[in-house]
Amino acid sequence: MLELAGVSKSFGGLAVIRDLDLHVDDREILSVIGPNGAGKTTLFNLVTGVVAPDAGAIRLDGQDLAGRPAHEIAQAGISRTFQSIRLFLNMTVLENVMAATYAHTGARMWQSVLRTPAARREEAAVRAQAAEHLAFFGTRLQGYRWDQPAYSLSYANRRRLEIARAMATRPRVLLLDEPAAGMNPAETHEITELIARLRDEVGHTIAVIEHDMHVVEGISDRVVALDHGVKIAEGSFDEVAADTRVVEAYLGLRTAERK
């Protein structure tokens, strides 16, 4: 579904992604692992159009995305969460999710000002959709929390809200950048189940960057390991975890040799 072919990106003289081929299939959960600085977040930034690739093609269902404006890429069906959470802090929880429906709604300014029937219907529909996305997380983002500003949420709830917001853009591919970072063990466990439900119940295609190997093991259909912008291993979790180069990248050459 999502396909990268020969993608390269360097910042100044530093090659961050080198000739990378990658694909995410329909309704698959792909994990991207690698040490810090391996180029994982840059990979997401390339796919979502935050930065344009120097070379190579990024295709979503055959449609080339490379070099297109970020909002168009999002409208084409790619949504994401951020490693450092980036919510619309001073907007309410519900508004955060509703704002993300902009691209697939169409109320014009004058329609909203005049509150035409079409605008009202759409507003009600958007609200219902947002409520539905929030309900995905149980009672946590319910009730009075709808009208609370996003900054008042706890850390874990902010991560959840970011996922809900990403869901509201109606993505075909959902990119989750370290969804379990900073979570306690119970919350991490919950995130693992949640990502599986995102695929099984909602039907999303998902790429995850994650450092927590329990999470990676629990969710991945396939794992890709990056180091210095190069794909060093690909396969099932067990295959990748046993790969010498992966162990080497994480723990250094000598540990790898001892194994």
CA distance 172 to 186: 29
Query: Shortest distance, CB of residue 107 to another protein, whole angstroms?
Result: 5
252: exposed, middle or buried (C-beta count within 10 Å: 0-12, 13-18, 19+)? exposed
CA distance 36 to 226: 10
Closer to another protein by CB, 16 or 87: give it. 87
Q: Which residues, 6+ apart, have CB-to-CB distance to 149 below 8 Å?
A: 89, 90, 91, 92, 93
Closer to another protein by CB, 89 or 253: give it. 89
Query: Shortest distance, CB of residue 97 to another protein, whole angstroms?
Result: 10
Radius of gyration of the chain (CA): 19
Question: Is 101:123 a contact under the CB 8 Å cutoff?
Answer: no
Closer to another protein by CB, 190 or 243: give it. 190
Closer to another protein by CB, 88 or 250: give it. 88
Which helix (H) or strand (E) segment holds residue 158: the answer is helix 155-168
CA distance 233 to 71: 32
Query: Shortest distance, CB of residue 30 to another protein, whole angstroms?
Result: 19
Query: Shortest distance, CB of residue 91 to another protein, whole angstroms?
Result: 6
Closer to another protein by CB, 44 or 225: give it. 44
Query: Shortest distance, CB of residue 10 to another protein, whole angstroms?
Result: 21
CA distance 237 to 10: 29
Closer to another protein by CB, 10 or 116: give it. 116
**Site residues (vs another protein, CB under 8 A):** 48, 50, 69-71, 74-75, 79-80, 82, 86-91, 95-96, 98-105, 107, 109, 112-113, 115, 119, 122-123, 126, 137-140, 142-145, 149, 151, 158, 165-166, 168-169, 186, 189-190, 193-194
Query: Shortest distance, CB of residue 214 to another protein, whole angstroms?
Result: 14
